[in-house]
Amino acid sequence: MAEQKNPVDKLSAQDKARLTKASYLISGMSLFIRWASTFTRYEIKNHPKHSNVKLLSAVQSGRFCLAFTDDAVCLGVQQTEAVWLKDIPLDFAIADDRLYLTVPAVEAIDIKFPTITIGIDIESDHLVQKLKSFDTLSFVEVRVKGGVVSEVIGPLRSDIPLLNDGLKSGLMHHSNVAATVVTMNDFL
């Protein structure tokens, strides 16, 4: 009987990384959609000017929190949201009127997953201005009791760049980055 070879063994490290990214995207977005489907329609809305930007309501944004140190800003994420946020491949965040998390477009096996940006409402203009003074965003898992963070579990995922020049500019940056990315179909 002939030995069967794994076709993935022939892929370069770069191609394997892209496939891995697509796998995490598909898994993470499936979990995000499952999470989002538990809310009524008005809890997650389309941005009035950008169709691929989804805005979380103030109630759903309340599931996240910001913590600042002298040299870092962390997005606190509860366990229910950590399930989907830990694996979604985020390109960067944008600090504008909200905190926006950008998920790249990916194409795998003739299926195109468009870019999506998730907007998290920030409770005060003061926090938005403070957020804009940082260049990276960290993620930590937290536990909340009675509406207050009771425990920081630990890091959730790798830090991502934080852009501070507005949503429109950030989305343009995202489009420019996406235009230079080789798609999955280039090697499948």
pLDDT digits (tens, 9 = 90+) for 63-119: 999 999 888 999 999 999 999 999 888 889 999 999 999 988 776 666 777 788 999
Strand runs (DSSP E) across 22-147, as ranges?
44-46, 53-56, 64-68, 73-77, 92-95, 99-103, 106-108, 111-113, 116-120, 136-145
At 174 the pLDDT is 54
Where is pLDDT greater, at 25 or 80?
A: 80
The pLDDT score that the predictor gives to residue 179 is: 43
With CA atoms as reference, report the closest residue to 102 among 18, 171, 48. 171
Tokens of 93: 């965040």
What tens digit of pLDDT does each residue of 128-176 get? 999 999 999 999 999 989 888 888 899 999 999 999 877 777 777 655 5
Query: What was the pLDDT predicted at 173?
Result: 65
pLDDT of residue 181: 42
Residue 185 · residue 105 · CB < 8 Å: no
User: 36 or 180, which is more confident?
Assistant: 36
Is residue 177 pLDDT above 60, yes or no?
A: no
Higher pLDDT, residue 178 or 113:
113
Structural Rg of the chain based on CA atoms? 18
Task: Flag whether the pTM goes above 0.75.
Answer: yes
pLDDT the model gives residue 2 = 61
Question: Can you give the pLDDT at residue 180?
Answer: 41
